[in-house]
Structure 1
Amino acid sequence: MGEHEQSAVRGQRTALSPSHAAESARPPGHGIAAVDVFCGIGGLSFGLSAAGVDVVAGIDVDGSCRFPFEANMAGARFVERDICDVTAEELSDLWPEGATRLLAGCAPCQPFSSYRKGVSPSSDQRWVLLRELGRLVEETQPEFVTTENVPRIQGKAVFEDFVEMLKGLGYSLDSHVCRCTDYGLAQNRRRLVLVASRLGRAKVPEGDQRDRPAATVRQAIGGLPPIEAGDTHEADPVHRSRGLSALNRKRMAASEPGGTWHDWPEELRAPCHRRPSGAAFKNVYARMRWDRPSPTITTYFHNFGAGRFGHPEQDRTISLREAAILQGFPDDYRFAPDGEVAPLTTLGRHIGNAVPPPLGEAVGRAFLNSFAEVST
């Protein structure tokens, strides 16, 4: 984008000690080098890098993440690999000799998502990915470890086992449910963050915006140019929204910011809305409000019927770029090569799954502060 075009789609980027280090922990002094397992399109890596951590590699089984990761993480290597196949030796080879090692691994959270009520985590084999992360921690014992997931994973055996494993290896650790508005996001996203250290006391960082009013949807995306449902802005191929059926266009037009489908004329309501059970689902087929943070950006934010993802005033769902900004990605983050348009559902999934970069930046700063304490 040119300078004028960038300003037209301007977003926001918001910008540890009682325990003893284990004998095998390498001495500090060479900086922190991170390998990001389940790196996706690089949300966590970008945040860690912004804090000053040297992200040397990202590992993900989904090859469609390669371009955005490498394009925005200059010098970092993308490894397309299933974590279950990664050996300790291969992982260790990614860290530079003499560096203090950080292993970051935010396992996919869908098995524990509130959007999957009624599905037992034990029936979804993706929960084993956290155990695989634990295996790599046990086998390589990096100086720092961090992971992020949905709050509902607390109390689950897979998470408790991970915590006990870290304690058994001598890590100091801390975990906390973080509100992303405290870190500058205009999004009501809550995530469980765990940090662990073998070089001092670990502590989840508090957000530097926690004592201020939360950022709003208007502040985040109010300056982006208008587009129609199903259209793409000519200056930014990521400022693109999903099309609407004729019925959903009428529903969108009848929706009020912050309202529900109760605002619609009776003829626009779906059969499920007329059943007693439908009364509880008021946050679907709904618009965001300008003066509030957005709801949690999920992998289905481009679907009007999947949540409160309607634009506050334009008759469409939020665009890919708007969702990315609400997730804390800078407005110039590259998601696809120049001249190419990433598939809407693929990029939507990547954006919804991403760790918000401002949260990753706060975690990175916490590790660097801890590192500085033990280096002096």
Structure 2
Amino acid sequence: MGGPEHVANIACIDLFCGAGGLTRGLQNVGVNVVAGVDVDQACKHAFEVNNNAKFLLEDVSELAPEKLNDHFGDASIRVLAGCAPCQPFSTYSQRYETVGTPRWGLMYHFARLVKNTRPEFVTMENVPTVIKHDVYKDFVRTLVNLGYRVSSGVVDCTKYGLPQTRRRTVLLASLDRTIELIAPPEDAIHTVRDAIGTMPALKQGQSSEDDPLHAAARLSDLNLERIRASRPGGTWRDWPQELVAECHRKDSGRTYPGVYGRMVWDAPSPTMTTQFFGFGNGRFGHPEQDRAITLREGAILQGFPLDYSFVPEGSPIHFKTLGRMIGNAVPVTLGEIIGQSILASLDETEKPTNREDDHETKRECGKTLVA
């Protein structure tokens, strides 16, 4: 699958693995991912074919720690990664998902698996607002009480080279070593032009003969008029009045300019959502072609390589299914950052500390993080 050779004696399991964005990023830098866990059968092909790792169709809330230990095998360095579904913690979705709904509790099950497997490293990624919620604070408190050193922060992925505006909370924890996120390189900003500027031109409703995923959703006649009236970086406010949606003409709708927009060539894209293939769902219009970006272009903006396979050859292309897989994925670039941070911790000359001697340090760390 390309990339560096795996670091000897390290094994990672990717909980909530989806299509394998985090796994691919980790493997790109040499972290051996042996298995991924997810409840979505549609992700199995993408995860296994591209990453040479086992896909486990399991509900994390019912997953037995013994199964994880079986896949860790005799690896001396074990990594448990978990990017629980972010929807319960996003500001928009909280009107639909409340405390007590199934996805809210998944982080507690992640903590349960950490407690019963005690991996050397733990990492978690989620939306920035996750830190406001008790389930996150409880997760950090559990790690600290188990003896982990924990660091966390909000990552601006554009600073690390992802051609997409995406901010995420990343937590890193280690049993015996100091760990923190690596610093971003200088001049790492990549743009929409860098990422998809050479993709073959398409009209709305068309797909490429060479790549079925390079497919653009069909536009209604009205939306075709709207995108023709749109300029890169502009909004629906630039349109003739007759093209503006009725809901946007009301006072309550004028505060939502972030839909029906074109991307800008020489800037990162907006954050990919599960509906990025729809022109009316955000600023997902192509910078100059009269269409929304394609499924493949969205995957590239998420850091996936051009040849990443999401469905078996000859399978039908379902925009909603693939949009969900791609939009929900951890960007590959962020996976690389997390992997490099873990490997940098392993490279430290610092010897593992005595957990009893370091108890007070961890206690102070815990107070800081869960406050």
TM, length-normalised to structure 1: 0.89
Figure out how many residues of one structure are paired with residues of the other and give that number.
348
Q: Is 2:255 aligned against 1:280? A: yes
- Cα distance in 2 for partners of 1:212, 1:266 equals 41
> Residue type matched to 1:197 in 2?
S
The match for 1:216 is 191
Tell me by how many angstroms 1:14 deviates.
Answer: 12
- Give the Cα separation in 2 of the matches to 1:250 and 1:258: 17
User: 2:109 aligns to what?
Assistant: 132
1:93 maps to which residue?
70
Structure 2 counterpart SS, 1:238:
coil
> Contact 2:160–2:189 (CA<8 Å) still a contact in 1?
no
- 1:282-311 superposed Cα distances (whole Å, 9 cap, x missing partner): 110111111111000011101222110010
Map of 2:279 onto structure 1 = 304
Contact 1:309/1:318 (8 A) holds in 2: yes
Contiguous gaps of at least 5 residues in structure 2: 352-371
How far apart are residue 247 of structure 1 and its match? 1.0
How far off its partner does 1:98 sit? 3.6
- Alignment partner for residue 204 of structure 2, among 212, 229, 232? 229
2:90 equivalent to 1:113: yes
Moved over 4 A (4+): none
What is the DSSP-based 3-state SS (H/G/I as helix, E as strand, rest coil) of the residue aligned with 1:230? coil
For residue 173 of structure 1, give the secondary structure of its aligned residue in structure 2. Answer: strand
* SS of corresponding position for 1:332: coil
Amino acid at match of 1:267: E
The CA distance in 1 between the partners of 2:349 and 2:77, in whole Å, is 12
Give the secondary structure class of the aligned counterpart of 2:141.
helix
2:331 is the alignment partner of 1:356: yes
**Gap regions ≥5 residues in structure 1:** 1-12, 16-28
* Match for residue 11 of structure 2 among 13, 33, 42: 33
Give the 3-state SS of the residue equivalent to 2:99 in structure 1: helix
1:69 aligns with 2:70: no
Alignment map for 1:19-58 (pairs within 5 Å):
31-58=9-36
CA contact (8 A) 1:167 1:173 kept: yes
RMSD: 1.9
Task: Give the distance between the partners of 1:114 and 1:231, measured in 2 at CA.
Answer: 34
The range that moved more, 179-188 or 112-121, is 112-121
Cα pair distance change 1:338/1:34, threshold 3 Å: same
User: Which residue number in structure 2 is paired with residue 318 of structure 1?
Assistant: 293
* Structure number with higher relative contact order (C-alpha < 8 Å, ≥ 6 residues apart): 1
Percent identical across equivalent pairs? 50
Task: Give the Cα separation in 2 of the matches to 1:356 and 1:295.
Answer: 13
By how many angstroms is 1:72 displaced?
0.6
What is the rounded CA distance, in whole Å, between the counterparts of 1:14 and 1:310 in structure 2? 33
Q: Give the C-alpha shift of residue 368 in structure 1.
A: 1.4
Amino acid paired to 1:147? M
Matched, 1:181 2:136: no
2:184 match = 207
> Partners of 2:84 and 2:11 in 1: how far apart?
20
1:14–1:293 CA distance, 2 compared to 1 (3 A) = farther
AA partner of residue 275 (structure 1): K
1:238 touches 1:341 (CA, 8 Å); kept in 2? no
SS in 1 for 2:138: helix
Higher mean displacement: 113-122 or 326-335: 113-122
Counterpart among 208, 214, 217 of residue 242 in structure 1: 217
Mean CA deviation greater in 332-341 or 134-143: 332-341
